[in-house]
Structure 1
C-alpha cells in the first residue's frame, strides 16, 4: 500500500494559498468491480454517492467536498459548507458547470453528476416550466475509488475515512440479492403515443423537421431499491456505460447504450451516435440472425442512422480543428441488452479556442435522443410528450481536474423525477415511420430495464 500525503496547506479555507489534495492509496488485491461498488454504495458511510462504469473501468464516488447546481437563472456552489449563489452568465448549463468547477478548492478534483435534457431547450430559448428545476449538477466527492480486478486506487479527503472505506470495500456480502419485480410496460393505453408519432410523421411530411425521438414513460408503482436494480440490470445488460446515482435531488440506475461526448486531456473528442434498432432473440438463434441482418438493410433504420451521423459530424466540425474530424467507425452492430443498434463513432480534435464543456454543450443533447434539426425537435417533443424529461435523454458524467470528460447518454435508465420514479424509452420517428412499429420499439428498449426493477425491502 502506497500513500501520498496531501498538500501541506491542508483543506482550503478563505485566504488559503493552496487547495486541498486527496490522499492517494493503491491496494493490490483481487476485487470484483460490481460487487465492490455495491458494497460501498450500501455502506452507509456517505450522504450521497455515484458509481460510474466506463470502458472496463469502474469508479465509486462518495460524500461531498462541494457541489455545483445550475438552474434556469442561477448557479449555486457549496464548497466546504459555504453556499454561494450567482446569476447565470453563459447560455448553456454545462458551460456553467465547467466555469464553476474551474474554481473548485480541490487541486486534483473529480466530478460526478448529471445534466437534464432541458439544458438544451433552455439554452435555445425554451426555459423549463419550473425555473427551480435543476438543469445540471456535479459533486466533488470526499472519496473516489477506482475498482479493478488487480486492486483499488483510492483518493480520500482524510486518512480516517480511508480506513473505513477499505473496510467497507472488503466486507463480506450480506447474502443473495433481493428478487426483482418485473414491470408491465404495455399496461397503459398506447393511444396517446401512437397519436403523437402520427402527428410527428405529418410534421415531417410538411417539412418542419427530418427526424424526432418521441418517448413514452411508465411509472414504477413501488419504492425502488436502486442498488439492487443496478446489480440485476448490469448483469443482464451490455452497456457502453453504466451508472448508479444517489444524490439529494436525483436517484438513478442506468445502462447507457452510447456516449454523448468523450473528451481526452489532449483535446480529442468522440461521440457515439446509435440509431436503428432491432430486438435481440437470445432464445432463438435463427430469428436473432435474421433480425441482425435485417437491421443493416432496412431502409428506414439505415436512413435514421445516416442522418444522425451526418448531424454529429456537422456539430463536430464546428468544434474541431480543420481536417481532424473523421467517422472512424460506421454502421457497426452494437449489442445493447434487449436490443441491438447501428453504431458509429465520430472523432476530432478540439480547436484551441474550445474546451471540453464547449464540446458537451455543442453535442448535447445527443442527436439520437432529440432530432434533426434539434430546435424543431424540441417543439415536437413538447407537443407529444407529457411533462418534462429531466434526466431521461440527458447525460450522466464524470470529469477530472486533468482535463478529461465522459458523458453517457441517459437512456435505459430508471430515475426519480418530480417526486416519482419512471422508466422511459423512445423511438426515432422519420417520414416513413409506422406508429405501431415505433411503439413496439419502445417496448423492446424498456425490456433492458423493466424486468430488473427491485422493490425496496421493509
Structure 2
C-alpha cells in the first residue's frame, strides 16, 4: 500500500484496511465534495456540477451518489466531525470513485482500472523490488499543553454537575514541529498498532493517516449493521505486569464502567431507530481491546436495517461516534463547539461505500493530519461526573502515544 501511495502515479488516493484486507483507491473517476451549503460533483461524461443543498448532509451525499452515471462503483473518502453540527461550516466531506483499485486479500492482489495502461503500471509496481525502508521516526513530545487543556476539562465537569449533559469528549491539538512524511509515518505507525481499521489518504492536498480503534458503522449489502463503541481507557505496552495491573483497574473503575455502559446504551438506542424491532443486540460486552499504546473497554452493537432504510440512515443515526462526542449528543456537540476548536477530520470518519448498499466507516482517532506544510495530532478524553483534569490530561497523553513516537520527518 505504501509503495502504491508513494509511487507518484496518483495525485489523489485512499488506502483503507479492514480485517485481512487492504484496498488502494487511486485517481479520480468520479468525485463528490460537500461544503457547507454546496455540493460539487464530477462524473465521467457529465459536466462538473455545483448546487446548493439543505437538510441533513447525509441526504446531500445520498442524492449525489444516486445520480452517479455508473452501473457499478465503489467510493472512498472522509467526512468531518462538523458533518453533525447544527450550523456546519467548512469542508464536510470528500469522496472519490477511483480510476484504479487494488485489493489485497490472502497475500494476493487484484487490480481493477479503467485504463489498461494504468493497470499495467500498477502490476509492474506490485511485482517490482521493494523500495527503500521508511525513514526513521522523530518522536513528538506529547506532554505539552496541560495548562490550556485542564481548565477546559474542569469547565466540562462543571457543566455535567449542572445537569447540562452526561458526557462530553474534550480534545486537544498537538502541532508537529517539522514537515512530515505521511506515507512513512503510516508504515511505522501501523507496525506498532493493532487497529480495528487503518487508513492513509491524500485528497485535494489534504493528507491523513491513522489507526482507528473502533468501527463507527459497518453495513453489508443485506442490511446487517454493526457499530463498536469503545469507552474507558488505560495505558498499554508497559510490560506484562504493568499491563495486567492497568487492565484490572480498567475493568473495576466505576467511572470507566459507567462511561462505557452509557455509550453502549446510546448506540443501542441509535440503531433501534433504523433497525427492525427486536434485531438490535450487544455482543462481547465490556471486552478489553488492546489498541497500540492504550487498552479500552469495548462492545459490539448490531442489528438489521428496517425495510426502506439504507446505510446512509445507519450512518446518520450513529454519526458522530458517541465515544468521540458525548451524551446526549446534541448537547455534547454544542459543548464541543465551545470547548474545542473546529475538529475537521478528527472524530469524523473515513469510509468505503458501494453501489450495492454496503458501507464501512472507521472512527478517526489516533491519527496524523497534514495540510499546507503543517502537521498535527489530536486526542481527547471522555469527561463524565467524577472526571479529574489531571487524569483526563494523562489519558490524552496515552492516546497520543499511539502515533507520536512513529512520526517520520520529510528527508
Q: 1:249, CA displacement in angstroms?
A: 4.5
In structure 2, distance between residues paired with 1:328 and 1:252: 32
Q: Does 1:341 align with 2:306?
A: no
Max radius of gyration: which structure?
A: 1
Q: How does 1:193-272 map to 2 (within 5 A)?
A: 193-272=149-228
Q: Does 1:126 align with 2:83?
A: no
Q: 1:358, CA displacement in angstroms?
A: 1.1
Residue 148 of structure 1 corresponds to which residue in structure 2? 105
| Residues 150 and 365 of structure 1, relative CA distance in 2, 3 Å threshold | same
Residue 182 of structure 1 corresponds to which residue in structure 2? 139
How large is the RMSD of aligned CA atoms in angstroms?
A: 1.3
Aligned counterpart for 1:377 among listed residues 321, 332, 355: 332
In structure 2, distance between residues paired with 1:47 and 1:287: 45
In structure 1, distance between residues paired with 2:391 and 2:128: 48
In structure 2, distance between residues paired with 1:223 and 1:379: 33
Residue 31 of structure 1 corresponds to which residue in structure 2? none
Q: TM-score normalized by structure 1?
A: 0.87
**Contact 2:3 2:131 survives alignment (8 Å):** no
Matched position secondary structure for 2:81: coil
Deviations 1:347-405 (A, max 9, x none): 011111211011101100000000001111122212222x2000000000001112210
Structure 2: 5+ residue stretches without partners: none
- Report the number of matched residues: 410
**Contact 1:94 1:136 survives alignment (8 Å):** no
Aligned counterpart for 1:191 among listed residues 144, 147, 170: 147
Q: 1:217, CA displacement in angstroms?
A: 0.6
In structure 1, distance between residues paired with 2:260 and 2:8: 44
**Contact 1:52 1:60 survives alignment (8 Å):** yes
Q: 1:155, CA displacement in angstroms?
A: 1.4
In structure 2, distance between residues paired with 1:417 and 1:315: 34
In structure 2, distance between residues paired with 1:419 and 1:198: 34
Residue 70 of structure 2 corresponds to which residue in structure 1? 106
In structure 2, distance between residues paired with 1:419 and 1:357: 34
Q: Does 1:279 align with 2:244?
A: no
Q: TM-score normalized by structure 2?
A: 0.97
Q: 1:239, CA displacement in angstroms?
A: 0.2
